[in-house]
C-alpha cells in the first residue's frame, strides 16, 4: 500500500525556533509509518531551508538543557513531491500566515489555519479586536505602535497595575514582563521590542489560567478537548518560558479540576473563538477564568506547541484521543478523506 507523503516543516526564524523543533520530534515519532512517509524540511534561524532530520535526539533538548537548533545543511530550493504539508512553525514567519500563503500559491494542501486566521491569531491586538467584536470578553489593553515609547497617563489609570507587557506578535512567553511599578515600564517595553516593534500592554487578569484544544474533523465537526489548568509557580512567578518547557509537570493539571458548568462554558467559548477568527484544523484557546466562572480569552494559538510536553497533545490524550490518531484526523481533514 502506498503511503501518504507528509512534509514536516520546522525550525524557522522566530523566537520559537526550538519549540518548533520539539513539536517536530513528537510529530515524527507519532506519524504511523504504515500510513505516512515523513519528509522533514528544516528552516535555520537565519531562514535557510534545508533537508530535515529524522534523528529525534537532534530535535529534543540536550541532557544539559540546551535547546535544539537546526544546523545549516543541504539546501532545499523546491518543495519535494508531497501530498500534504504540516507547517509546524510557531511564531512569526510560520504561524502568522506567511508560510500558509506560500503553500496556497503553490497549491499544496497543508494542515491548520489559513492565511487570515493565522495572521489574526498571531497578532494579540487584532485577535482581541475580532474576539471583542463577537462578544467575547478580553482583558483591557493598550497598543504601543513602533514609534510610541510609553503609555499615556490616561491609559495607565485605565489599565491599573500590575500589567503584562508583551510583544504583540510573540509566543512561548518570550519578551514578556509582568510590571508591578510604572517605573519599570520603559524597560519592559524595550524588552518586548526585542521581539516585535509593536507592543501590547494588558491589565493583569486574576483567576485561573485554563486552556482548551479545538480540533476540526474532516466532516467539519468541531471537537473540544477537556480543559487543562496552568498553576502559577508558587514562588510568585508566572507561566514564563522556563515554566512552560522545564517545569511543566509541576505546574499543570491535565485535565483541570473545574466544575461542570465552567468546563462546558470554556469548551463552548473555545469553539466560538475558533470560529470568530476563521480557524481551520486546530487551535488552542487560552483563558483566564474569574472566581465567578467568567472566562476571558487570553489568546488563540493557530499552531499550538505539539511537543511531547505541550498542552495540546496532552489535553487530547486526557480526552481519549491519542496523538497518532489526532495526526490522522488533521491530515485527512486536508486531504478531503475520512480518516
Ligand atoms: N493579561 C494577563 N494577565 C495575567 N497573566 C497574563 C496576562 N498575559 C499573560 N499572562 C501570563 O503570561 C503567559 C504568557 O502570555 P501569553 O499572552 O499567553 O503569551 P505567549 O503568546 O507568549 O504565550 C500566560 O500564559 C500567563 O501566565
Ligand atoms: Mg500563551
pLDDT digits (tens, 9 = 90+) for 289-299: 999 999 999 99
The atom of ligand 1 lying closest to the CA of 202 is: 1
Residue 246: per-residue pLDDT: 75
First to last CA, the chain: 16
Question: 192 alpha carbon to ligand 2 midpoint, in Å?
Answer: 15
Q: How far apart are CA 202 and CA 159, in angstroms?
A: 7
Q: Is the pLDDT confidence value at 331 over 80?
A: yes
- Distance of alpha carbon 198 from alpha carbon 151, whole angstroms: 13
* Spatial separation of the C-alpha atoms in residues 88 and 286, rounded to whole Å: 19
Residue 236 has pLDDT above 70, yes or no: no
Query: Which of 123, 160, 164 to probe ligand 1 with, by most ligand atoms within 8 A of CB?
Result: 164
**Within 6 Å (CB) of ligand 1, which residues are found?**
139, 164, 166, 170-173, 176, 202, 204-205, 209, 238-239, 286, 298-299
Q: Do 127 and 47 form a contact (C-beta atoms < 8 A)?
A: no
Task: Give the CB-side neighbour count of residue 261, counting CA atoms within 13 A.
Answer: 5
Task: Note the pLDDT of residue 328.
Answer: 97
| % of the chain at pLDDT higher than 70 | 99
175: nearest Cα among 145, 198, 146, 148? 198
39 CA to centre of ligand 2 in angstroms? 29
Contact 297, 136 (CB under 8 A): yes
pLDDT tens-digit series, residues 158-169: 999 999 999 999
Domains with residue ranges and CATH for the chain: 4-110 (3.40.50.20), 121-137+206-335 (3.30.470.20), 141-203 (3.30.1490.20)
Whether residue 234 is predicted with pLDDT greater than 90 in this model: the reply is no
More confident residue, 336 or 296: 296
- Which residues contact residue 162 at a Cβ distance below 8 angstroms, ignoring those fewer than 6 apart? 178, 179, 180, 204
Ligand nearest to the backbone CA of 121: 1
Q: Rounded to an integer, what distance in angstroms lies between the CA atom of residue 313 and that of residue 151?
A: 38
- Taking only the tens place, the pLDDT of each residue in 162-218 is 999 999 998 888 999 999 999 999 999 999 999 999 999 999 999 999 999 999 999
pLDDT in tens, 88-107: 999 889 899 999 999 999 99
What is the per-residue pLDDT for 225? Answer: 98
Query: Can you tell me which atom of ligand 1 is nearest the CA of 204?
Result: 3
Whole-prediction pTM:
0.95
Ligand nearest to the CA of 243: 1
Amino acid at each position: 500500500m502506498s503511503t501518504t507523503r507528509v512534509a514536516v516543516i520546522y525550525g524557522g526564524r522566530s523566537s520559537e525556533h526550538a519549540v518548533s523543533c520539539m513539536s517536530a520530534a513528537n510529530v515524527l515519532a507519532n506519524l504511523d509509518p504504515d500510513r505516512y512517509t515523513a519528509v522533514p524540511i528544516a528552516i535555520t534561524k537565519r531562514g535557510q531551508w534545508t533537508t530535515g532530520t529524522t534523528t529525534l535526539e537532534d530535535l529534543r533538548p540536550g541532557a544539559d538543557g540546551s535547546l535544539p537548533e537546526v544546523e545549516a545543511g543541504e539546501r532545499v530550493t523546491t518543495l519535494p513531491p508531497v501530498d500534504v504539508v504540516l507547517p509546524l512553525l510557531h511564531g512569526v514567519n510560520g504561524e502568522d500566515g506567511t508560510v500558509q500563503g506560500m503553500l496556497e500559491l503553490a497549491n499544496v494542501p497543508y494542515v491548520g489555519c489559513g492565511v487570515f486566521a493565522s495572521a489574526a491569531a498571531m497578532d494579540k491586538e487584532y485577535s482581541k479586536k475580532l474576539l471583542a467584536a463577537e462578544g467575547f470578553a478580553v482583558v483591557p489593553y493598550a497598543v504601543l505602535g513602533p514609534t510610541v515609547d510609553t503609555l499615556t497617563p490616561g491609559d495607565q489609570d485605565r489599565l491599573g497595575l500590575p500589567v503584562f507587557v508583551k510583544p504583540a506578535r510573540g509566543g512561548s512567553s518570550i519578551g514578556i514582563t509582568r510590571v508591578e511599578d510604572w517605573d519599570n515600564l520603559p524597560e519592559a517595553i524595550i524588552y518586548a521590542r526585542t521581539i516585535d516593534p509593536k507592543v501590547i500592554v494588558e491589565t493583569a487578569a486574576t483567576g485561573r489560567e485554563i486552556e482548551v484544544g479545538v480540533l476540526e474533523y474532516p466532516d467539519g465537526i468541531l471537537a473540544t478537548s477537556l480543559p487543562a489548568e496552568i498553576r502559577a509557580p508558587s514562588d510568585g512567578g508566572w507561566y514564563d518560558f522556563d515554566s512552560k518547557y522545564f517545569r511543566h509537570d509541576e505546574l499543570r493539571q491535565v485535565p483541570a479540576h473545574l466544575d461542570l458548568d465552567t468546563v462546558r462554558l470554556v469548551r463552548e467559548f473555545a469553539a466560538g473563538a475558533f470560529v470568530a477568527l476563521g480557524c481551520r484544523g486546530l487551535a488552542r484557546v487560552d483563558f483566564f477564568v474569574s472566581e465567578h466562572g467568567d472566562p476571558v480569552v487570553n489568546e488563540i494559538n493557530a499552531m499550538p506547541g505539539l511537543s511531547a510536553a505541550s498542552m495540546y497533545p496532552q489535553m487530547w490524550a486526557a480526552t481519549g484521543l491519542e496523538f497518532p490518531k489526532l495526526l490522522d484526523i488533521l491530515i485527512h481533514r486536508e486531504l478531503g478523506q475520512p480518516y
